[in-house]
Chains A and B, each alone.
Chain A
Amino acid sequence: DAGVIQSPRHEVTEMGQEVTLRCKPISGHDYLFWYRQTMMRGLELLIYFNNNVPIDDSGMPEDRFSAKMPNASFSTLKIQPSEPRDSAVYFCASSLAPVRGTDTQYFGPGTRLTVL
């Protein structure tokens, strides 16, 4: 299996621009997670999906952030408009149906976003 695939690996954009990050989970996985990692705040869960349905988006920082999962093999995280404080590494992870968190999450390589 190719693992979780994320694109782009690096993104540099200017403040105010729209940014779209993409993720392809491992085939057959029912859960998909979006995380953000910064030096100041560490690793934060933004949102997760079960069978393409958003379950918990309490970690999404504000309305500028939105995430979709139109089918089982694709998800996007969009930031519009972007701000310099959004600069971070964004990870996507997927897992089989976890029972009370017992299952392993498999992480993608991340997208390093820089907003100038």
Chain B
Amino acid sequence: GDSVTQMEGPVTLSEEAFLTINCTYTATGYPSLFWYVQYPGEGLQLLLKATKADDKGSNKGFEATYRKETTSFHLEKGSVQVSDSAVYFCATGGATNKLIFGTGTLLAVQP
């Protein structure tokens, strides 16, 4: 079945460092791909998405490119801030209407 694998956390960075959180997926067909973010004590919020191969999703300085050849959707940001500290979830919308989430990666940014 469809699945998502993302890198284990926690990821600890200093402010203004470069961020990469890896995500790979297995799915039938051509799924949409998502990154959601969960701030402490809150629900998940959509950060960005891509609906077809080679699409780049971007929001708030974060980017991810849908790579069909490597079945990946890695999240990147050039310069992280303390306010980016949160849990990041990669997800795929597969053959059904359900979203399949990864296990989440905790990002801690230190000033």
Contacts and interface: CB of A to CB of B under 8 A. Distances in A.
Interface of A: 4, 31, 33, 42-43, 45, 48, 50, 55-56, 91, 93, 98, 100-110
Nearest to A112: B41
A100 B34 CA distance: 13
A42 B94 CA distance: 19
B49 A104 contact: yes
Interface stretch (B16-24, B65-73, B95-103): B95-103
B85 interface: no
B46 interface: yes
A42 B98 CA distance: 16
A109 B101 CA distance: 18
Given A43-B101, A56-B98, 18 more contacts: A4-B43, A31-B97, A45-B98, A48-B98, A55-B97, A56-B96, A91-B43, A93-B44, A100-B95, A100-B97, A101-B32, A101-B92, A105-B46, A105-B99, A106-B46, A107-B44, A109-B42, A110-B43
B96 to A, nearest CB: 7
Q: Chain B interface residue count: which class?
A: 20 to 34
B29 interface: yes
Contact of A42 (B32, B45, B93, B103): B103
Contact of B104 (A33, A42, A105): A42
Nearest to B45: A107
